[in-house]
Amino acid sequence: MYIFADKLYRKNEIKIEDENNKIIFTTTQNETILEWLVKNGLPETFVEDIQNEDQSVIYEENENIKLIILKYFIQEEENRLLYTDINIVIILIQNRLIFLTSHEKVVKEIVSKFFRRYKSSDRTEYSLYNILDILIDRTMSIIDYIDIELEAIEDNIFYQNFDEEEIQKDLYFARRSLNKIAKLSVQENDIINKVYNHLTPTIRKKLKYEFIDLKEHLTFLINESKTYLDRTGYLQNLLMGFISNRMNQAMQRLAAISLIFLPLTFIVGNYGMNFKYMPELDWKYGYEAVWILNLLIAYLIYRWLRKQKWI
């Protein structure tokens, strides 16, 4: 279990009942935390939401507890542009902020970033803002990374230095990730509004500009993810255009080769007929003449095709 008070600990010795432990980071598998939450009034429906990996983003509250579920994007091994989302659970209860997620690595990452911002004098609501800002900044960094990768893909397509199958996969996974980010960013924008509106008037006044900053970042995420989603469509069309052009060029070369051999086939076909009286058959230089004629015709057609830039 990872608990954050004034310092970062990795031991279970610190108890949640300790009044000094105002901010707690741990995993959803931590039974001690879940039992304490239930004991202190967390409804069963909230517990089900916490443990449901397919839970969408929500904001729920009762008289004593506020439950916020957001999403954190992690990179999949299958492809560098494929990101899947996991639940981030934030609970405000008895002047404590409890952060839960299923991945221990994510807990460490968030704690590390939060620790650099934290001051012992911070109110719980300001710590909540810091966590929300860290989560949104993480998603913004993903958007920036996808943008860089899409630029690299575009360059590869233009220089025709690409593996068609690999780029198709990259674009497919980028579209999946961007579509998910765009959809969840819209939902999270609504959640941020609810969180802000349910703060006390005094806290709302103090955190007004902080939450405006969060909303601006979410608006940026929504707009940029949709823009890059359109860009992946453009890159797919561009890729298909280059592939089609390659095939057209190949077919054009095949047609050019066929055009060279078509008159030669005609000439050879004539001399393949078994007529008794064919003057050229008895001519001493007939064989050489046919060869010269074939080569001359082939050369002239080749020169014409080169001039027309068919080959």
Ranges of each domain in the chain: 2-245, 246-307
Q: Which is more confident, 72 or 301?
A: 72
| Confidence at 218, pLDDT banded by 50, 70, 90 | very high
Q: Is the pLDDT at 292 greater than 70, yes or no?
A: yes
Stated pTM of the model: 0.80
Class level of CATH domain 246-307: mainly alpha
pLDDT at 7: 59
Q: What is the rounded average pLDDT of the residues 232-245?
A: 86
Give pLDDT tens digits for 13-59. Answer: 556 766 666 888 989 988 888 888 999 888 888 888 898 888 999 99
First to last CA, the chain: 70
- Rounded CA separation 286/41 (Å): 108
**DSSP, res 55:** P
- Rounded CA separation 230/102 (Å): 33
β partners of residue 90: 68, 99
Backbone region of residue 51 per phi and psi (left: phi > 0; alpha: psi in -120 to 50; beta: other values): alpha
- Average predicted confidence (pLDDT) for the chain: 87
Tell which CATH architecture fits domain 2-245.
2-Layer Sandwich (3.30)
Give pLDDT tens digits for 76-122. Answer: 999 999 999 999 999 999 888 999 999 989 998 999 899 889 888 88
- Rounded CA separation 181/71 (Å): 9
